[in-house]
Amino acid sequence: MTASQPDVLAGAYGQCQPFRIEALRPCTLVILGASGDLTRRKLMPALYNLFELGALPSGCQILGCGRTALTSDHFREQMLVAIRQQRALTMEEWERFARLLAYRRLDYAQQADWQDLASWLRQPGLPASRLFYCALPPDQYATVACQLGAVGLQQATAPDYSRLIIEKPFGHDLASAIALDASLHQIFAEDQLFRIDHYLAKETVQNLLMLRFANALFEPLWNRSYIDSVTIIASEQLGVGQRAGYYDRAGVLRDMFQNHLMQMLALVAMEPPSRFETETVQNEKAKLFRSLRPFSTGDPAPQLLLGQYQAGQIDGQAVVGYRAEAGVAADSCTATYALLQLYIDNWRWSGVPFYLLSGKRLAAKQTAIHIQFKQIPHSLFGHLLSAPIPANRLELAIYPQERIALHLQTKSPGGKACLAPVQLCYDYPQAPLQARLDAYEKVLLDCLQGDHMMFWRQDGVALSWAYLEPVLGRCGSQPLLPYVAGSWGPPEAAALTARLLNI
């Protein structure tokens, strides 16, 4: 471990919570679905990076499992290829890590396979703390929990632990989310469950609470008196790729709104928690979700635009329309774009519109939160200038840049009254100046530490579904607006989008 590495884990500068590797118990990480895309592209590179940083407790083992018949050697070879697609490493570096890896075939429906797995995990010398990572289609989560329970692997004797990590989607609607949770809770207690939302592990998203509550500057303005609107955008250039089977059932509302956009909304709009602790933060998020004005009610009633991409061009390359994607029905009515306006019925936000926008095959990949302040109440320069003065805006950019930019007006040098827009900007330092953990590295580290702060709690999942169900009910009954791939969405949304995003 080099001198700078502990800093990367705790934070590179400023006042940081110390990272204490010695406080972590050695554990056996069992990846279920280890032959799949998530393991290859995200988990294994993240685990390797953590290992290299010295953030995996010594004695950790990583066991890949799946129905695919692979030897451990074959699995290691595949993982080496996967890691090398993302970073360079020497054979010597690799061999130190490869010693931690093994693979076992596991048919999820076969109890005998689980008995064998349990015996393997209980062999002397292997850590008794276990993390089970479901890198699997979600319809397998309940089976996995049930089988783990049947062979007693959900239990551990303190200070050892047994934890289950699951990936979104958490259900397809409110009823299935509740049913899934009930199945998981038959075997696991809430504190053993980790529901991942990788947006919560993004730096700028995590920074929201620090920015809002570690500065005296913003909070007095963070309300209906000074804020005109809030826009949360997660646009993508990508289409559905290989995931048509999943996406055509999910659509943009389930894929992005139910989870990532709702979490960003909660962090922007929630009340200050009394302490930076899991329960207090989760309680405030739940309160916020409960304050959402039910869709289609109230005055003004929330608005929704839905769209689906047609053939077009992305970066000069022709791309097919959604209905021509492999695996998508030729008459699919799945929305690949949505722009939702919502209101929060509480003292702070009464009357302030929040806009949530996400879509595939849009003009650019952009993830950001825009806080649009109100116009100044009176302009003393009105009679001197030809145009109104643009209002202030705080931009929290997550992708492609990670930055915080405050848009202001200042006098530009020269003539008497000469106003010019400027930005006070904080750009996140880039490696190597400040090496940083990526989202999956942080997620895995939090699971090792048993820290639930940046995961979903079940009440939040249910409240988010409860809010969204009437919105989902609109799919099929309101027009699905076509948009050209590579544009900013349906023409019907163009004027509003331009205003919201300042484009």
Ligand X SMILES: O=C1O[C@H](COP(=O)(O)O)[C@@H](O)[C@H](O)[C@H]1O
Ligand Y SMILES: NC(=O)C1=CN([C@@H]2O[C@H](COP(=O)(O)OP(=O)(O)OC[C@H]3O[C@@H](n4cnc5c(N)ncnc54)[C@H](OP(=O)(O)O)[C@@H]3O)[C@@H](O)[C@H]2O)C=CC1
Q: Which residues bind ligand Y (CB under 6 A)?
A: 33, 35-38, 41-42, 66-68, 108, 135-138, 140, 167
**Nearest CB to ligand Y, comparing residues 37 and 279:** 37
**Residue 135 site contact among ligand X, ligand Y, none (CB < 5 to 8 Å, cut-off depends on kind):** ligand Y
CA distances to 26, 288, 388, 395, 417 from 412, rounded to whole Å, are 59, 41, 16, 22, 8
Identity of the residue, 407 or 442, whose beta carbon is nearer to ligand X in the bound complex: 442
Q: Which does 137 bind (CB under 5 to 8 A by kind): ligand X, ligand Y, none?
A: ligand Y
211 CB-near residues (< 8 Å, 6+ apart): 218, 396, 404
* Residue owning tokens 């689906």: 308
Closest CB to ligand Y among 238 and 385? 238
Residue 252 near residue 335, CB atoms below 8 Å:
yes
Q: What are phi and psi of 330, to 5 degrees?
A: -65, -20
Does 358 show up as a binding residue in the annotation? no
| Smallest gap from residue 41 Cβ to ligand X (A) | 11
Query: Which of positions 217-236 make contact with ligand X (CB under 6 A)?
Result: 234, 236
* Separation of first and last alpha carbons in the chain: 46
Q: At closest approach, how far in Å is the CB of 424 from ligand Y?
A: 34
Please give the Cα distance from 446 to 440 (Å, whole number): 10
Q: Are 338 and 358 in contact (CB under 8 A)?
A: yes
- Residue 367 binds which entry of ligand Y, ligand X, none, with Cβ cut-offs from 5 to 8 Å by kind? ligand X
Which residues does 382 contact at the CB level (< 8 Å), separation at least 6?
388
Residue 334 touches ligand X, criterion: CB under 6 A? no
Task: Pick one of ligand X, ligand Y, none as the site partner of residue 70 (Cβ within 5 to 8 A by kind).
Answer: none
Residues 133-162 that bind ligand X (CB under 6 A): none
Q: What are phi and psi of 101, to 5 degrees?
A: -95, 145
Catalytic residue among 172, 260, 370, 378: 260
Could you confirm whether 260 is annotated as catalytic?
A: yes
Residue 189 binds which entry of ligand Y, ligand X, none, with Cβ cut-offs from 5 to 8 Å by kind? none
Select the residue whose beta carbon is closest to ligand Y and give its number: 36
Strands 366-373 and 393-399: antiparallel
CB 218 within 8 A of CB 212: yes
**Alpha carbon distance 39, 279 (integer Å):** 30
Q: Is 202 annotated as a binding residue?
A: yes
Shortest distance, position 61 Cβ to ligand X, whole Å = 29
Nearest-approach distance from CB 10 to ligand Y, in angstroms:
26
Residue 113 marked in a binding site: no
- What is the DSSP pairing of strand 317-319 with strand 312-314? antiparallel
Cβ proximity to ligand Y: between 54 and 138 the closer is 138
> Per residue, what are the HEC states of 86-127?
CCCCCHHHHHHHHCCEEEEECCCCCHHHHHHHHHHHCCCCCC
**Least CB distance to ligand Y at residue 386 (A):** 50
The verdict on whether omega for the bond into residue 302 sits within 30 degrees of 0, i.e. cis, is: no
The response to whether 374 counts as a known ligand-binding position is no
Residue 108's binding partner out of ligand X, ligand Y, none, with CB under 5 to 8 Å set by partner kind = ligand Y
Out of 129, 231, 332, 367, the residue judged to bind ligand X by CB under 6 A:
367
Q: Which is nearer to ligand Y, 196 or 305 (CB)?
A: 196
Known binding-site residue numbers for substrate: 198, 202, 236, 255, 360, 365
Residues that bind ligand X (CB under 6 A): 234, 236, 238, 255, 367
Residues forming the active site: 260
